[in-house]
Structure 1
Amino acid sequence: MKSVTDRLTESVLMEILENAFQWFVVVDKEANILYINEEYCKFLETTREEAIGKPVNEVIENTRMHEVIETGEEHIASPHFIKGTYMLANRVPLRVDGETVGAFGSVIFRDLHDWHNLSSHVRTTMEKIKIGQATEKTTFQLQDILGTSDSIKSIKETIRMIAPSDLPVLIQGESGTGKEMFAQSIHHLSSRSEKPFVKVNCAAIPAEFLELELFGSVGSTDQIQRKGRFQQAEGGTLFLDDLGDMPLSMQVKLLRVLQEGTIEPIGSHHAKKVNVRIIAAVNQPLKNLLESGKFREDLYYRIHAITLQIPPLRQRMDDFKEIANHFFHETIAKVGNRNLSIAPETMHYLQEYSWPGNVRELQNVVQAAVYLTNGNVIEPSVLPQEVRVKSGYYTRNTLTLQQAVEQMERNIISETLQMHPNKREAAKVLGLSRSTFYEKLKKYEF
């Protein structure tokens, strides 16, 4: 008896692909389009003849098909901002004899707002099924960490290497750098991904309540009265944010968990086994706390073996536009004003600011700017005063010499263009040939 695929003719297969209520695209290992269905072409305002053979990023904006080919990792139900709206897309690597030879992508839902409405009954049902469970689903995956700078690429590669282990991980970075996002990415890539991811902010819980919060309590019969976070995270990951604020007395008990894999709830005289992976985060180097006597030396040596150092935003300005545009598109999708754009001068101010609050501060500023704008262009006037004041952050302590020179060159070109909008005249004022000037305009995206 012939298999189903043997019995299906090419014309029938094409009919299925063209009428599957989804948009499809297939690319080769160079990310050039091999196939795209007609409905997708109509949405993209192109033809199949024009699209096939082209690099996919020239046809589909914000595509991440190349990432799937490079990493071999699938993206399932990944938000994709395209033509003014968010959609949900699947991207899957295509392999032959273990080698990635291309990728297949499909758009499942063509509007996230509709998807949320249509799926509400499904989500409600799932919540009823899981009622009483302690599982906290992770929100972020590795592909949600934006940026292609060397530092971010290195961190992502380290995460892929360490995620399968059960070793504790220390994440160091200034406030607002997104440390929890990195922690969730580790959990998602681990064998514990279907188990709980539980977060505890050690700085937000008063010291006298932290033991109860972490270890729980038992009654006179040694029966659990209250589950602690360790018990809630059983089989999964416990994320200890602001670990540096944990009292020394609690650090001793945390060390016991790491060494023996047991906890002792309040009121109990018996150790209880727990199976939990620890990921901790601090906003200053633990070594500084160690030297000042605020952190135990034995715990430090137990937890710092695998350390991820998350760079502040000012040290990864190569990623700035991608991150800023992500927050911008995310916000306008909620607001509904899809004709809104950012004025070049506004982007200039954003790039010149030092961002002491890092990515979180950038997100808040962009969101506020979108809501404060009445017209269709975000002007500098809606930015906070401190953002509009030149901070001079491009110092030898935060930027390399090359980055400082490029920042200064960008500023000079911007100021010259404001005084001399005619590009030929501006090039003459700067003493540059037209070809050199236009190369610099392209480089700095003017």
Structure 2
Amino acid sequence: MENWLKFLSAGVTSQILETAFQWFVVVDRDAKIIYINDEYCNFLEVCREEAIGKHVADVIENSEMHLVMERGTAEIAAPHYIKGTYMLANRVPIVIDGEIIGAFGSVIFRDMNDWKKLSSHVRKTMDQIETNMNQYRESFYNFADIKGISQSIRKIKESITTIAPTKLPVLIEGEMGTGKEMFAQSIHGLSNRADKYFVKLNCSTIPKELLEEEIFGKWSRNQVVKKGRIQRAEGGTLFIQEINELPITLQAKLLKVLQDQKVQPFGTDEEISVDVRFILSSNVSLAEMVKNKLFREDLFYKIQSITLQIPPLRERIEDLPELIQTFLSKYSVEAGRRGIKIDRKALWNLQQYNWPGNVRELQNVLQAIIHLAEGHQITVDVLPLHIRRQKPTFSKSNGTLEEILFQVERQILHDHLEQEKDKMKIAQKLGISRSTLYEKIKKHNL
């Protein structure tokens, strides 16, 4: 607080107001927002009172304010991808008595057409961005796309903000359909490699006989190297999906790249230096594969130091309402049916389902029922038959104690609301006040 008094007395506030454009934000040394103007809040669709005190990365997607403070250097006219488009932003650390006590950020150009005309340097930057985005536009995710209130998701998001600035390899494990690619792209988006390529390679979809040259490249007869995925990711990130499918014979070669940062194309002994950050995913436990001699132990220990375990949807069912709302908003716009909502009984059925296909299955179901819904309400009768016939079950083994209690509370409230419409009577039966009952109904989206 004492430093912030110095900050205010030093006239920095007036400097911000004089140099700020329409959107600006100020954060403290912990990257928590202490001020954000109304114009910015309106664009972000957040309430200023709720934004104050939150980590800036939780409010502004792809924010690098915290990284600017770590590096201690300003970023001027830096491309910032936000809400589907690129803008130009200034990010400046605030220094008092030689100590960084916060940072100030402003959006200086909000329309690509305006800043595209500025200079050849900016035009070159934008061409690079557009080329990159065109390659991955259909599936690119960012940190803000990670939805959920469960303890497991909160911990993963905290880990991502910590590990993203590093160059260390990251292993992401989780069942199929849990969204491992989204977490990988979020790490890339928060890193200082965000303006470089994010290259993907799925070991399960490429024929085994072609994998080596696809990953490491190939030395052709005319002594020209055909670049593999590693070289294509130069300066950026290579995301190797389903690393558990990589043949043992190639695992040693990948380990050498990780250790030496040099790649040896197929057909030559020549090594080429590379600067690549590796993120790898697996839908099975690599530790078990190592025990069964199906995966190299030395490669496993090289990549497992930072491991994100993505829980299946059935183990974080409290995240379902937010996920449903997010996907409904997206798919209803795509279908030209704005304002689609889901009624309480339909939501309850979705919450009782086990979701063996995880978030991917949820997305597919919601895309379908939006088209089947009559009017603006999704009711039970449009849900797939196997979900409607799902018997309510409760597994005491799913999740932490906090998550288990959350599920129990939701089920008790649902049962009472099905049997009784008078909220006062329900509150009396449960021994709580009516206001507390309404708070719990709102918390569980019942």
Please, what TM-score do these two structures have when normalized by structure 1?
0.74
Distance change in 2, residues 1:196/1:34 (3 Å) = closer
One-letter amino acid matched to 1:202: C
Whole-Å separation in 2 of the counterparts to 1:332 and 1:91: 35
Quote how far apart the aligned CAs of 1:244 are: 0.4
1:439 positional shift: 5.2
Q: Distance in 2 between matches of 1:269 and 1:445?
A: 61
Q: Could you say what secondary structure the match of 1:182 adopts?
A: helix
Name the counterpart of 2:178: 177
For residue 240 of structure 1, give the secondary structure of its aligned residue in structure 2: strand
Aligned residue number for residue 153 of structure 2:
152
State whether residues 239 and 278 of structure 2, in contact with CA within 8 Å, keep that contact through their aligned partners in structure 1. yes
Cross-structure match for 1:56: 48
Across the aligned residues of Structure 1 and Structure 2, the Cα RMSD in angstroms comes to: 4.4
AA partner of residue 173 (structure 2): Q
Is residue 79 of structure 1 aligned with residue 90 of structure 2? no
Q: Give the 3 Å change call, closer, same or farther, for CA 165–419 of structure 1 in structure 2.
A: closer
| Change in CA separation of 1:66 and 1:130 when aligned onto 2, cut-off 3 Å | closer
- For residues 339 and 47 of structure 2, the distance between their equivalents in structure 1, rounded to whole angstroms, comes to 27
Inter-CA distance 360–95: structure 2 relative to 1 (3 Å threshold)? farther
Displacement of 1:129 in angstroms is 4.6
In the aligned structure 1, how far is the partner of 2:343 from the partner of 2:54? Answer: 29
**Aligned partner of 2:56 among 68, 74, 80:** 68
Compared CA separation, residues 161 and 445, structure 1 to 2 (3 A): closer
Deviation at 1:380, TM superposition (A): 1.5
Q: CA deviation at 1:345?
A: 1.2
Q: Distance in 2 between matches of 1:176 and 1:64?
A: 34
The one-letter code matched in structure 2 to 1:68 is: V
Residue pair 1:65, 1:91 contacting (<8 A) in 2 also = no
Give the structure 1 partner of residue 376 of structure 2.
376
Aligned to 2:311: 311
Q: Which position in structure 2 is the counterpart of 1:252? A: 252
In the alignment, the residues of structure 1 paired with residue 312 and residue 251 of structure 2 have an alpha-carbon distance, to the nearest angstrom, of: 27
* CA separation of 1:69 and 1:207: change in aligned 2, threshold 3 A: closer
Is the CA contact (8 Å cut-off) linking 1:25 and 1:106 kept in structure 2? Answer: no
In structure 2, distance between residues paired with 1:131 and 1:322: 31
Instruction: Tell me the distance in 1 between the aligned counterparts of 2:178 and 2:421.
Output: 37
Rounded Cα–Cα distance in structure 1 between residues aligned with 2:57 and 2:220: 55
Per the alignment, in what secondary structure is the counterpart of residue 201 of structure 2? Answer: strand
Conserved? CA contact 2:129–2:195, under 8 Å:
no
What CA deviation, in whole Å up to 9, does each residue of 1:102-133 have, x standing for no partner?
A: 98789958xxxxx9x999999xx879955997
Deviation at 1:286, TM superposition (A): 0.6
Change beyond 3 A, Cα 1:227–1:312 = same
Could you tell me how far 1:436 is from its partner in structure 2?
A: 5.9
- Specify the code of the residue in structure 2 equivalent to 1:390: Q
Shift of 1:376: 1.2
The 3 A distance-change label for structure 1 pair 316 and 214 is: same
Q: Secondary structure at the match of 1:323?
A: helix
Q: Deviations over 1:353-409 (max 9, x none)?
A: 222222222222222221221311011222222322335553132134554454344
Once the 2 structures are TM-superposed, how far is the Cα of residue 298 of structure 1 from its aligned partner? 1.3
Distance 1:64 1:87, change over 3 A: farther
Tell me which residue corresponds to 1:296: 296
1:6 — aligned with what? none
Residues 174 and 283 in structure 1, CA contact (< 8 A), matched pair in contact too = yes
The 2-side partners of 1:386 and 1:121 are apart by 55
Instruction: Give matches, 1:408-423, under 5 Å.
Output: 408-423=408-423
* Structure 2 contact 24–104 (Cα < 8 Å) conserved: no
Tell me the distance in 1 between the aligned counterparts of 2:115 and 2:413. Answer: 50
Give 1:293 deviation, angstroms: 1.6
C-alpha contact (below 8 Å) 1:170/1:304 kept by paired residues? yes
Aligned residue identity for 1:194: D
Cross-structure match for 1:346: 346
Q: How does 1:111-190 map to 2 (within 5 A)?
A: 129-130=127-128, 139-190=140-191
Any gaps of 5 or more consecutive residues in structure 2?
1-13, 66-79
Cα 1:304/1:281, change in 2 over 3 Å: same
Matched residue SS, 2:83: strand
Q: For the structure 1 residues 241 and 33, does the alpha-carbon distance in structure 2 shift closer, same or farther, using more than 3 Å as the test? A: closer
Comparing 86-95 with 283-292, greater Cα deviation is found at 86-95
Asked which structure has the greater CA Rg, the reply is 1
Q: Is the Cα contact below 8 Å between 2:314 and 2:354 reproduced in 1?
A: yes
- C-alpha contact 2:242 2:283 (8 A) present in aligned 1: yes
The equivalent of 2:224 in structure 1 is 223
Unaligned 5+ residue runs, structure 1? 1-9, 45-53, 81-85, 110-114
Change (3 A) 1:101 1:267: closer
Once the two structures are superposed, the pairs formed by residues 230-241 of structure 1 within 5 Å of their partners are 230-241=230-241
| AA in 1 matched with 2:189 | H
Rounded Cα–Cα distance in structure 2 between residues aligned with 1:128 and 1:78: 15
Contact kept in structure 2, 1:222 and 1:268, CA below 8 Å: no
Taking the TM superposition and a 5 Å limit, the aligned residue runs for 1:271-290 are 271-290=271-290
Measured in 1, the distance between the counterparts of 2:186 and 2:324 equals 21
Partner SS, residue 321 of structure 1:
helix
Q: Look up the equivalent residue of 2:215 and give its one-letter code.
A: L
Equivalent residues in 2 for 1:389-404, closer than 5 Å? 389-390=389-390, 392=392, 394-401=394-401, 403-404=403-404
Correspondence 1:194-213 to 2 at 5 A: 194-213=195-214
Aligned position for 1:47? none
Query: Normalized against structure 2, the TM-score is what?
Result: 0.74
| Structure 1 runs, 4 residues or longer, greater than 6 Å off | 25-34, 69-72, 86-94, 101-107, 117-122, 125-128, 131-135, 428-433
